[in-house]
Amino acid sequence: MEMKNKYVTINDYINGAPMESNFSICEETISLSSGEDNINVMVVKNLYISVDPYQLNRMKTHSCSQLLLPESAAILPGQAADDLGSENPGHGGMGQKLLGRRRPGNWGGVIDGSGVGRVVESAHPDFKRGDLVTGRLHWGEYTVIKGVDTISMKKLDPLGFPLSYYAGSILGSSGLAAYGGFFKVCQPKKGDKLFVSAASGSVGILVGQYAKLFGCFVVGCAGTKQKVDLLKHKLGFDDAFNYKEETDLNSTLQRYFPNGIDIYFDNVGGEMLEAAVENMNIFGRVAVCGVISEYTDKTKGAKPDMIAVIYKRIRIEGFLTVDFKDIYEEFISTTVQHLQTGKMQAIEDFSYGVESIPTALVDLFRGNNVGKKVVRIAED
């Protein structure tokens, strides 16, 4: 079977804040090739795709993250070398290239991320047509997966939950980051005082819920009154504030934590991390999940008071979801139980169609999302 596939590429490296004009929507014809080339190959129809801030680091000319993991490897601008075709002007400031056939598995500059899809063609013995799968899928309508790439793919039993929950949402990478980051990195004790930055984002919104269920005092910050109200009145945070309305973050944290902070779950870096360190208690823990303020501007890098870090014996630790493979089943069973009993809520922010993917990423850096940003590519 041959099928048309629209997908997203970057036009050039992105070393500042992303814009829609940095991306192109391309089109190709794909199929399973014949003969030896199609061994262990399958074609997946993408249903839901996760869009995450870290993916911008893959689009830069250089980032140390590009050298450390396959999932964070650099994304090359433009189409694959063996693409053929002409270029047409696109809409919304994005160029569009109409391309010829490519070899399955040769994806060149195509972007990938967590997603959920359904197998439509398969020459792989472990996957058959119709299987639901979750894993690394491309920012497009279809993903051709070949050989070793199938190792990371898992068959999916959604357990009655929406498929979007597994596309980087509460039962996907954001949920695992929140669960592992809080329980394994922060090592909480009941009654601990927790501060969460970007608390209305995909990870922060879940960290706060896990922490409240565990027995912590939780304060979050967000960038609008609506987000603050969501945290306080729907998700059960003890308190929350709009950081854009604060002129002195150090004083702000003193106001919300008069007895100091035991745990800081960091999603933004920069001056927020500096202020948190100033207000940490002795033996405080800082879990660094993301530093979105630094992704677009290197001058905003945090300069915490290292004397305070030493004398307060503060532990600052970064982490990735790959660090929590050994607790994946624990994470799923615990979170499923919380969802079934109504103790946790999934907050998702949807965009629709491949063409919406560039704006979905750009919106993350404009603060336009609430909860997990997911793009629905197609109905199941």
pLDDT of 148: 64
* pLDDT tens per residue, range 64-75: 999 998 889 999
pLDDT in tens, 322-373: 999 999 999 999 999 999 999 999 999 999 999 999 999 999 999 999 999 9
Looking at this protein, which amino acid is placed at residue 137? L
Q: Tokens at residue 45, please?
A: 């129809």
What pLDDT score was predicted for residue 31?
80
Place of tokens 């909480």: 188
Burial of 259 (0-12, 13-18, 19+ CB in 10 A): exposed
Return left, alpha or beta for 147; rule: phi > 0 is left, psi -120 to 50 is alpha, else beta: left
206 sits in which H/E element: helix 204-214
User: What does the pLDDT profile of the chain (380 residues) look like in tens digits?
Assistant: 788 999 999 999 999 999 999 999 999 998 876 445 667 889 999 999 999 999 999 999 999 999 998 889 999 998 543 343 333 333 233 333 323 333 333 344 679 999 999 999 998 999 999 999 999 999 999 999 887 677 789 999 999 999 999 999 999 999 999 999 999 999 999 999 999 999 999 999 999 999 999 999 999 999 999 999 999 999 999 999 999 999 999 999 999 999 999 999 999 999 999 999 999 999 999 999 999 999 998 888 999 999 999 999 999 999 999 999 999 999 999 999 999 999 999 999 999 999 999 999 999 999 999 999 999 999 87
Q: How far is CA 77 from the centre of its chain?
A: 21
Instruction: Provide DSSP, 97-161.
Output: EEE----TT--TT--EEEEEEEEEEE--TT--TT-EEEEEEESBSEEEEEGGGGGG-EE---TTS
Helix, strand, coil share (%) of the chain residues, nearest 5: 35, 30, 40
pTM over 0.75: yes
- What is the set of domains in the chain, with CATH numbers? 2-169+346-376 (3.90.180.10), 176-322 (3.40.50.720)
